[in-house]
Amino acid sequence: MAKVRVEVRNHPLARCVGSESPTPFGLPFFRPSDAARVIARLPWYRLLVKVVVLPADADPLTRPVEIPETHSPPAILDTGAPLTCFPATLWRQFAAEIRWLDQPPREDGEPWRMTILGGSWTYRLGRVRLGATDINGRWLDAATTVAMFLDEPPAGASRPPRHAILGLRTPLLDRRRVRHAGTTPDDLPVWWLEDDIP
């Protein structure tokens, strides 16, 4: 059963391990019974999958022998997002591997836009071949994914997400599962993206 380790970011413990500084991450709140009003934090940690963009014409079972960082952006695993998207700062580095898809014009004549994380950005639709790896070089075989490739926003507009977003409908998740597998000795959570084999 192939699997890759999913990196956890923004966990409240992250800034505490090996550090005396208090963590700034997590949604702050007060427990109802706490008269001392000690700030508790609800984790909003992110799960990052290190995706690898392969050549569009690569054999389905191709495995890379090197992983250029330009082609291996961490992507937030977001099962609340239907589609995968890449900000321009990331996809421009592997633009040669994208097969662009035309879309019919919208009825109102406006460009197609996606709305996420409180912002709205124009995009082009395309396909890329994505595999996944982790810090130990584990590998999950690649799948072709339709994704939204965000345009660079005009000056003064809100900034798009810094990371790529791996949406629920990516075939990279087909017949695979995300599993929380306890914690490390430092109490950091361990997550896997793995084949779902009975």
Partner 1 sequence: MTTNGTHPPPPATDAAHGDVFLELNDEGKAALADFAWVGEQYHRGAWAAHAGEYIAVVRRQVVGVGGDPAGLRERAARECGVPPGRVVVSYIDSPNDL
Chain residues binding partner 1 by CB under 8 A are 1-3, 7, 9-10, 14-19, 21, 24-25, 44, 46, 50, 53-55, 58-59, 61-71, 74, 89-90, 92-93, 117, 133, 135-141, 162-163, 186, 188
- Pick the closer one to partner 1 by CB: 24 or 111: 24
Beta pairing class for 84-86 and 176-183:
unpaired
- Pick the closer one to partner 1 by CB: 15 or 113: 15
CA distance 140 to 61: 10
- Please, what is the minimum distance in Å from the beta carbon of residue 54 to partner 1? 7
- Please, what is the minimum distance in Å from the beta carbon of residue 131 to partner 1? 9
CA distance 6 to 189: 10
Q: Give every CB contact of residue 126 below 8 A, 6+ residues apart in sequence.
A: 98, 99, 100, 101, 146, 147, 149
- Pick the closer one to partner 1 by CB: 67 or 178: 67
- Pick the closer one to partner 1 by CB: 162 or 180: 162
CA distance 34 to 66: 53
